[in-house]
Every structure is written in C-alpha cells, then in structure tokens.
Structure 1
C-alpha cells in the first residue's frame, strides 16, 4: 500500500518554521539530526536519572563543565524511557536550535571518565549516524513501497530507518562509503551477490549439527560455482573480501594460492537488521558473515567462541530441551545456528585474536511462509510516511473489532507477553539459560489478523549459562559452556536477562505503545508487573524487575564515551551499566490492581 503523502510535501514556505513532529519534517537532513538529538537526550536522561519536568514545562539540563543549561521541549514523557523531545536550545538565550553534534559535545564534557579522544570519536559517530539516518529517510520517502517478493520477515529487517531509540549512534558505520551503503544497507533495501574464496581444506575448520558438513552446505549455496580440488568454497561479504586482501595473514595465503579469490557469484542476498547477516528467499539457511566494519560500538567479526556457542545450543536443544520447551510453550522456539566454518590464517595482528576474518555461521531460515517480524522493526518509526507497523496493526484491529485503540493495544501486549516473555523466563528457570532477548534479537509471529501468535529468539552471542546450573547443563550436554565461554556468574545472568528482556524489550515495547499514542503506559506497566510477578518465585531476574526500586541498565552513551567495544573482553565488563529508576517498582508499592 503506498504511504500517505508527506504532510509538507507541497509546502513552499521556509521549513525552518516547522512546528510539527521533528521526525515528520520535510527535510530528511533535519529528520536525521532530530532523531540523533532525541536519542542522545534519552540516553542522558536515563543514564543520569533525570526526572521529568512539571507538565507543560521544558526540560532543563545544566552543563556545569561548560557553564550552560540546555532547555528541551518535552513532546511526551515516558515512564518506560521512550521520551519524545523537541529541538534543544541554550536556556535564557535567543540563539538557534542546537544540532546533534553540538549536543554530543556538550554531553561528552560532562561524562566522568571520558577522555578527549573518546568524546571526539563519539561526536564524529553521532554525525555519521545522523547523516545515514537522513539518507535512509530520503530513500524510503522516494521509494515507499516494498519491492516485489519482499517477505514480511525481510520488510521488518529493513524497517529500522532511525535505529535503537536509546543508543547515541545507532546508525554509525565507520568505513562504509555512500556507494557501498546502497548495496549493503538494509534500510536502503540493498542486495548483492556473495563473494567467494576457495580455501585449501587443510586451513578450514568447521562443524555442523545437520547430516551435512558446513563445507557441503556452502557448496550447495554456491549455485554451481566450482573451485580447485582439495579446496573448500567459502562465502564472504563483499566488503570483507576487499578488506581481507590487505591483511598480511590472508595476503600471504593468497600469494601462495592456498586461498584463491573467485570473486562475486550467484544471485543477490539481502542484508538484515544486523547488516552482516544476509537472507535470501527460499534459501535453507541465512548466513551470519564476518564484517570488519565498526557498527555502533564494535567490529562485527564472528569470534570462535560464538561459532562454538551456536552449535552447542542447537545440540542442547536436540538433546531434549527443545521437546521440553515445546511441551511448555509450543508457540516459542529458538532459531538454530546449525553449522559454522572458519579459515585458519597466520596470526599477524597479535596473539589475542585467533580469528582470520573468514568465519561464518549458517543459521536456519524458517521464515519464508510466516508473517514474522523482529520487534524492533515493528515499533520502528516511519518518519513522515505514516505510523509504525505496530501502530498500523493496532489501529486496524481496533477498526475491525469496533474496540477502543487502547483496549486492543493492551490485549496485543498481553498476548505478546504470553508467547515471548513467559517462555524466555521459563527457559531460565527450567534450564538455567538466560537469553539476550533485546528487540532486535526477538521475533514475533503474527496470525492473519495481526495478533501475536508465537515468539522466536536468534543470536549466537546472546546466551548466558548460569554457573549454579553447570551440573544440570553438563547432564544435558557434556562440556556445555566450556569452550564457548558461555558460563557466567548468576548475578551477571540476572543483570543481563533483566536488562535485555525487561528493560530493552518489554519496557521498550511499553514505551513505544505510549510514545505512539496507542495506550496508557500505566495500564501496560501494571499488566507487565503481573506477568513478571507470576515468574518471580522461580526467576531472580523477574524478582529484580518487580521488587527493586532501581534496575541495572546498559548505559549506551557511557559505553560509547568510554570507548568500549562490546564484543571484546569478559562478558561482565564489556559495557557500562548504570542504575535507573524502576517503573515497575512503583506499581508493586502502590498495590494497583491489574485490569481483568
């Protein structure tokens, strides 16, 4: 269905006088900057515990390091953290609106522990993220319709035009040119053929939980490409292929023909929301490719422990856990990482990295037939192009059933909790496995009317095996959690499950319903409290979410300002965590009843 006309598409007046929603501004560059500014301010408010201002008053943020105060119009204040802001200015001054880079510089000066290099780098990444978001909006406004053959799964993967609402640089992609983005960015609906190398079999390590080797799966995906005898075909992201040619270890193997560059070949694959995981309609698997781009905070190259973790979880599930999960929650499943393949190359960049940059994961692809979408794609704004898909679903259901929008939204959320939150909490209690179930890792299956009918989890980085359940896990699968570095202290598992499922996913969904004017957050919070309280006797993360006045929350802005790479180092210290007020605690203390 074509998108509605932009509200100012035919306006000939000066758009600087725009008074509507900043995300609906007719100038995509202004939209990108507004989105970046809002994300920065949400991060600051959350990570500093800033209370909301009195009704109809602007938010005032003192910046003592520079001796100024920011004054920010509040369009919507969210209990769950999805605030909406207007353009900030310096308080008590008649100056212009402040752009995102200026705001980033001011906030960076206030951050304890942030050095000058990290502050400068953050501001540069904010600028890059804002520019790319503007490009996404510009492209999508010019081409609003999904191309023929786009599945619901792919449409949701391509929907995150602005990115994570509480990340300071959600669309920064260091090293990706504008021309490359046209092919490799999901938001621009890019697609490309895979680049292929033939690697001597003695250099290839692989594993599979299927009846086929990883090398055989790769060969089947090559569409008839033939390599030299005793070589294995290895698919690579085109960007990575060009970068690898300049790495000494790979270059040495290319020079002696132990690796042969076969070039691009085959039909196009589509980048998903992670950029590096690619999808093709009808293919039996998706490919999670190594990609040395720094996307948000980290270079996205597969680590060996992550390769091991994916097939280890599949083996745990095949050993009986999947049947137990299905018996308890038949509408929930985990997307399997069924195989992996890696190339061993001389270590020339330091002894700490065993990876060559030629590592990939084969992920099951069960999504061609169902209407399934990552939650982040459902709630994503469509700036100037109409409501999010979540809002469109709720409004359509309300019209079809003759019910109030808020009533439909509450039922939609309640069904979501049953098919997503309940099984994830059950898995932790039953098996000692906590999932990093943030909105981009969580998929919801929709029935023909648009109601949540099932849930899925994906991500071989996102498993935490509890130390206290090591013996149980070993009984299920000998050696579980060892080489994959998946065993963690219970308090780490509690913190991560409470943050990723509780704060990012569930409170994030509450905030989206509220900010998009679909439901009253207070009603949804009481519904969420009741669901979590039912699990609290057996799941410590649920007790934290319902019983503590504060919650541990990943501080995305502080993580960025401290220059941390979230994929490097011990799990417990990869990110900065802060305490935030718990909106669910007030509901427990107030004793408010949950609507029937």
Structure 2
C-alpha cells in the first residue's frame, strides 16, 4: 500500500469512526477473538481495531499505531474484511473505500455516493502526484511551512480533492510541490476598478510587474474570464486587455488560492472556481465587503484583546477589489455579471510582521512526514534532547511547549468569543506560530473574511457599514458560535497538537489535557463564567464538525452539523501544573 493510499484511508477512517462507527457503537477497540491471522502476529505493533459493518462485508479490522484521546488514529496496517460465509481477506484500497461508503449508505438509508467516491479518488491521485514531485524548495520559513501540508485535513474524506482544474495546471499552482508561478495580468480602464478599504492593487502591480494600473488573475481562473461574453465585449471596446503571465512569481500558501511574495506587505486571496474540500473557492462581492468591513469594525476590539494578551494577533484584511464590467454588455444575465465580478475578486490580508524567523503554520506541525513520523513529535524530540543538557526531562519539555501554545491561543480566542461576541475560526490551517528558544512565543489567527458575530453583542445598528447580505453572512447565534470555536480551537487544533506532540511519550496525552483544563478553569472567571465553558469542564461533550456527512449528503459547508465527543477535559486544578517557563 502506497503512502498516498495509507493516508487516504486514514483520513476516511478518522471521519467514519467519529461520525458513524463510534456513535453507533460498532467499534471494538483492543479487539480480540475473531481476527485475521496477520493482525494476531506479534510482529505487527499497535492496537487492533474491529468494526462491525453489514452485508456483504460483516467486519473490517486493522491495526493502529496510535490512538488519541478523541479516537483519532494513525493507521498501521492494511484493512481486512470478513464477507458473509468467507474467511478474512485483505481489502484493496478501492474495495475498502467502496465497503465503507456502502456501509454508510446502509446506515443513512441512502444510495452510495458516487460523487464522494470520485472526490476521494481524486484526492488520493493528487497525493500521489505530489509525492512523485520534487521536494519543496526553501525560500524562507513562511513559504516552506505553507507548502508542507502534504496530506491535508486529517478529518476530511477528500482533503486534496481539486475538481475543476486539469492535472498539468494542478501541478503548476499547487503548494504541495513547491510551486511558484506568474499571475495573469490585464491592462484595464481605471474606471473598471472597484476597491474597498485601503487602496492596494496599484502597489501590488508595481512590485510584481514593475508598472501600475494592471490587474491580476489566478492562472486557474483566467480561461473562465476569457470565455465570458462580458469580458469579450469589454475587450472589443478596449476597456480591458489580457497581457498573459507577467512579472515576478508568487507562492501559493496552504489554502492554495492565497498567494505570497516576500516583497509585498499583503497576501493575495484570489478567486478560483475550483472545489477544494467542501467549497468552491470564489470571492463573492459580499465576502469582499465583509472582510474589509469587519477589519474596520473590529479594529478597536482586536487592539484591546491583543493588548491584554501579548503574543496573540488577528491578521487583518484591510483591502479588497474587483472589476465592474456591468455596463459593457447590457444583454448579459445577472448570473454572468456576478460570475465575472467574482472571478476578479481579491481579498488582501496583511503579512506577518515579526522579528522571529522560526515560523510554522500549525497544520504543518500536526502532520505526518513521508516516512510516517509526526512532524511535531520529531521537532519536539530534537529540542527535548537539547533541553536535557540543561537538566529538563523530555516529558516536561513537551508539556511546557504545549502550555506555551495553549496560553498564546486559548485566552485571546475565548475572550473574543465570550466578552466581545466575535467568532473566530482558529483551526490548524488558520493558525501560524513563531517559536524562540524552542518554545512558542507568538500566534497569528487568519481568515477574517470567515469571522462571525453574535447578534447579542453586534445588533444591526452596530453594523451600519455592512450591507444586509453581508450582515446575514456574518451573524451567528451564540450556540453556533460556541460550537464553531470549540470545534476549531479544541478539536481540530489543540487535540491534534496534543496527539502529535505526545506520540512517543506514553501517558503524556492525559497530562496535556489536564494542563489545558487547568488553563480553562483559571480563565473561567475572567471570561464571565460562561455556561458553555463551565459545562465543558464538567464533562459536557465537545462539538466536532461532520466533514464526511457534509460531503455524503452534498450539503453546503455552512450547513454542516456536528457529532458530540466525550473528552478528558474535566475540571482539574493542580497548582503544580501552573508553573511554566512561558
């Protein structure tokens, strides 16, 4: 089984176990008895897991090399199946995917989702393409960490699926292969330009092309633009002209469509009509508006929270722009007009401003390398050896590292939620951290465009700078806000960081969760003792977003629901855990 197949199955099993098998009580952890002989061998390390499925495959079994506190797994063997009336047999990757999809169809009383199966296979094929490519070159720490997310979201069934782009174009612009490429540029009539917030596009044009007045477009989007009747009419009127790929190259970051150049003071978040994970990644006009509007609206709040919590910063999105060609082709439909406007939509996010050189996107740390080793565990192991020379034990160093990370990330995020009604999305891929002397000293949270507001704190009269459509897109109920933040912060981010950090140190994971519980207990009063957080510390379940069900039922990402997880995060106050070098 190739590395791409192993990780594809690992992702699918993570989702399937969490969203289906565990809630339906179909899993035998530490399984014994009826098992394939290959899994009974002492030569194969790890825990044996058996899932009870249904006709025609009655059981599926496999080994896991590691299992986390929230039942996230590291797959350690092939999958074996026991069909009705037959002995155990090895499942090929395709047969395993088929068997799991068929079982989910049975549980949900639906037909097997062939579209999802195609997306899973597309993701697998893309992983293999990335593996076959050359190693990601090193420009600087930020570029390298952004282009090191080889396997993607561990709880998404098709994290590297990219529909709407051809394989050769895929490789030219994918961060996983260290891509750097020229943007396509258009010479435009200045009257077409629509800017929100601080004017930026001319400076970007000057830095990247050496001249102002040009407008960029992502290579994956340019054919859609050139095929537009509206564009063609505007071109005939000499209002816009395609100049082709020009200027300095830019580097795609982990989100694929957000682009980096070290000489710019902004990232470019471009529009692409390509499905990445759950969404077509286009920039609607109201998203441009909400990004800039939220930056202006929340500036005093962010400054206040950042002052109270040094080392925590929200990256602003101060500018956005698009082209308005509405009047160039009067026979065009509203849909055609909107599509072209979206194709040209760009959100500008501020660059990281820091003196620190050791920078990591958190998702690239909580990940496996090509050899199956945890990136974070390897890094902490090496640093723990250095710390041992000063008398610090490995376990204590790892716990100290995690505590520093918790203290940077958690109080600021929860202060914004409970004191200010601001709902961030601090998942692994939206979190960037800097370290100094081996320990985390700074975190940045990004994706302000996706930030939500709770109406009790932010009624309509406080949002006068936003349109009704933008307000509808940013308003979240308190319950929605808590579910989103607790999922992104605790399940997607911190649980995975703990899982990876504690890979090679038995018993350490529980201690790490206790440290986190202590921190939450200590800030509970400062946050106003919110009921949701109090309940969590008393053992109420954690919300985990259902990425698999979202794709299975073909739902929009905004309509995703949750599975509720038991967890080790119970009220725990130990004075000894409060001491830290951070």
Q: 1:421 aligns with which of 393, 402, 410?
A: 410
Distance 1:270 1:369, change over 3 A: farther
Residue 100 of structure 2 corresponds to residue 107 of structure 1: yes
Coordinate RMSD, CA, aligned: 2.8
C-alpha deviation, 1:286, in angstroms: 1.1
2:63 maps to which of 67, 70, 73: 73
- Greater CA deviation, 510-519 or 330-339? 510-519
Tell me the CA shift for residue 517 of structure 1.
4.9
CA deviations 1:277-319 (Å, max 9, x no partner) are: 010122221100001111112111112222122222321344x
Partners of 2:576 and 2:303 lie apart in 1 by 33
Q: What is the aligned partner in structure 2 of residue 296 from structure 1?
A: 277
CA contact (8 A) 2:502 2:509 kept: yes
| Count of aligned positions | 540
- Does 1:360 pair with 2:342? no
| 2:456 counterpart of 1:468 | yes
Inter-partner Cα distance in structure 2 for 1:113 and 1:351: 37
Contact 1:269 1:280 in 2 (8 A): yes
1:494–1:506 Cα change, 3 Å: same
TM-score, normalised on structure 2?
0.85
CA distance in 2: counterparts of 1:595 and 1:131, whole angstroms:
45
SS of 1:470's partner is coil
CA contact (8 A) 1:249 1:348 kept: no
Q: Displacement, 1:239? A: 1.3
TM-superposed deviation, 1:480? 6.0
The partner residue of 1:397 within 373, 377, 383 is: 383
Greater relative contact order, per chain length (Cα 8 Å cut-off, separation 6+): 1
Matched, 1:239 2:220: yes
Offset at residue 127 of structure 1 (A): 1.2
Alpha-carbon shift at residue 136 of structure 1 (Å): 2.2
Measure, in 2, the Cα distance between the counterparts of 1:220 and 1:481: 32
2:124 aligned with 1:130: yes
Deviations 1:50-91 (A, max 9, x none): 555126763222222544321122322211333122221103
Q: How does 1:492-507 map to 2 (within 5 A)?
A: 492-507=480-495
Q: Who is 1:488 aligned against?
A: 476
Aligned to 1:54: 30
8 Å Cα contact 1:474/1:480 also seen in 2: no
Q: Residues 200 and 259 of structure 1 are in contact (CA less than 8 Å); yes or no, is this contact kept in structure 2?
A: yes
Confirm whether residue 269 of structure 1 aligns to residue 250 of structure 2.
yes
Secondary structure at the aligned position of 1:553 is classed as: strand
**Distance in 2 of aligned mates of 1:153 and 1:519:** 33
Instruction: Identify the residue that residue 380 of structure 1 maps to in structure 2.
Output: 367
User: Runs of 4+ in structure 1 displaced over 6 angstroms?
Assistant: 590-594
Comparing 494-503 with 508-517, greater Cα deviation is found at 508-517
Q: Deviations over 1:22-43 (max 9, x none)?
A: xxxxxxx710001000111111
Partners of 1:79 and 1:357 in 2: CA distance: 43
2:566 to 581, 584, 587: 581
Tell me how far apart the structure 2 counterparts of residues 222 and 558 of structure 1 sit (CA, whole Å): 42
Query: Contact 2:182 / 2:245 at 8 angstroms: preserved in 1?
Result: yes
Match of 1:38 in 2: 10
2:529 equivalent to 1:543: no
Unpaired runs of 5+ residues, structure 1, are: 1-28, 227-231
Please, what TM-score do these two structures have when normalized by structure 1? Answer: 0.83
**CA 1:519–1:594 in structure 2 vs 1: closer, same or farther (change >3 Å)?**
same
Aligned to 2:37: none
2:543 to 552, 574, 586: 552
Alignment match, 1:283: 264
Q: Is the 8 A contact 1:47 1:580 kept in 2?
A: no
The runs of 5 or more residues in structure 2 that have no matched partner are: 32-45, 327-331
